[in-house]
Amino acid sequence: MKIKLERISKAYHHNFVVKDVTLVINSGEFLVVLGPSGSGKSTTLHMLAGLETPSSGTIFFDDGMVNNLPPGKRDVAMVFQSYALYPHMKVYDNIAFPLKIRKEKDADKKISNTAALLGLTALLQKYPKELSGGERQRVALARALVRNPQVFLMDEPLSNLDARLRLSARGELKKLQRDRNITTVYVTHDQTEALTLGDRVAVMDKGRLQQVGTPNEIYQKPQNTFVAGFIGTPPMNMITIKPCGNRSFVSGETTFEFPTPLPVKTNCILGIRPEKLTVVPANEPSLIPGLIEYVEYLGHESISHVKIASHMTWYVKDTTERTRVGELVGLKFLPEDTHWFDPVRGERIAN
Ligand code: ADP
Ligand code: MG
């Protein structure tokens, strides 16, 4: 099933919480909607499910307009943030419920397979109140996955799982969706989920679509400073600069020398990812001088917090153990690793 949103908006009391969203989700695609809390992700998903009606715009499932089609007629399976299970039914019957009402064959086999996939086999005879939050969430996921709908709609379905379970659940979910080729819209505020699960990622902020692209495109070519700052841990380092001369720029009261002619001639925002910066001793020629204020040791890598000249902290991610707190250093980068944005609108302007 192909899904198309055409200029979809939703307002509550004249306040737009979703504004002018146009998006095509291809048949069989796993699309992740990523954004901070309150950005309008759940509202968008609810409109696809038929639980909310758009204030304006059109939603198509394949070629049919579904704006006013009730949820039960859309053949979608939903998993919500708040995993409402039937409290009086055992886990097995909760998972079986969507099959029972459809009188499916092989129900028992499907249920045990899905339960096994999500590590629920030992819990099938328990009641929801006997389960942890993470276990309940997996039951809710199983109840959706046991079906074979045209569309999966999932709203932060892994948010209550611990880190290890989340990793395995991500793997299972992705495998299952790929095997069955069911169009999936998956909402999350977690960039790791978005980058690992999505065929494409749609980034939202303040009700508006900021960028739609493959995980690689979103990471390598963020279209604006919001996407650049939202994706990546730590996020992209950014600094507002004023070019002066062919190769030098000013930020605050400090002048920096760029290694090649600057690709921009007007005021702009320069961005560099933490893993694209190299720390060199202060006496080596470098682009940006700084003071190491703090180093987070993460085992396989460290994140250094470097106070740069203009009262700003930049993050450097590296795998060496050279950097020490209190050291004066220089930060080096390659011109091809820079991102340039318009200082007013925040849009990508070069590279
Ligand atoms: P997200 O899922 O990205 O966190 P939501 O779609 O849940 O965001 O909400 C977007 C905004 O819309 C929030 O500011 C929220 O308070 C508001 N909102 C959601 N539902 C309603 C409603 N029924 N009435 C009024 N405001 C709502
Ligand atoms: Mg939400």
| Domains present along the chain, CATH in parentheses | 3-230 (3.40.50.300), 237-350 (2.40.50.140)
- Is residue 205 in contact with ligand 1, taking CB distance under 6 Å? no
The pLDDT score that the predictor gives to residue 351 is: 62
Nearest CA to ligand 1 atom 2: 42
Neighbours of ion ligand 2 (CB under 5 A): 42
Tokens of 299: 């085992």
Taking alpha carbons only, the member of 72, 68, 70, 41 closest to residue 57 is 68
**Is the distance from CB of 200 to CB of 29 less than 8 angstroms?**
yes
Ligand 1 centroid – CA 3 distance (Å): 22
The pLDDT score that the predictor gives to residue 245 is: 86
Q: Which residues of the chain have pLDDT under 70?
A: 310, 321-322, 351
Give 323's contacts (C-beta < 8 A, 6+ positions apart).
279, 292, 295, 302, 304, 316, 329
Taking only the tens place, the pLDDT of each residue in 311-342 is 789 999 988 766 789 999 999 999 999 999 99
DSSP label of 315 = E
- Is residue 39 in contact with ligand 1, taking CB distance under 6 Å? yes
- Is residue 283 in contact with ligand 1, taking CB distance under 6 Å? no
Gap between the Cα atoms of 129 and 87, Å rounded = 7
Ligand 2 centroid – CA 204 distance (Å): 12
The pLDDT score that the predictor gives to residue 310 is: 63
Mean pLDDT of the chain: 93
Residue 39 alpha carbon, nearest atom of ligand 1: 3
The pLDDT score that the predictor gives to residue 324 is: 84
From the CA of 38, which ligand is nearest? 1
Residues 111-134 as b or e (16 or more Cβ within 10 Å = b): beebbebbbbeebbeebbeebeeb
- Is residue 36 in contact with ligand 1, taking CB distance under 6 Å? no
Per DSSP, the three-state class of 188 is strand
Nearest CA to ligand 1 atom 16: 38
What global pTM score does this model have?
A: 0.94
- Is residue 188 in contact with ligand 1, taking CB distance under 6 Å? no
Ligand 2 centroid – CA 188 distance (Å): 8
Residue 155 alpha carbon, nearest atom of ligand 1: 2
Q: How many residues does the chain have?
A: 351
The pLDDT score that the predictor gives to residue 320 is: 75
H or E segment and range at residue 34? strand 30-34
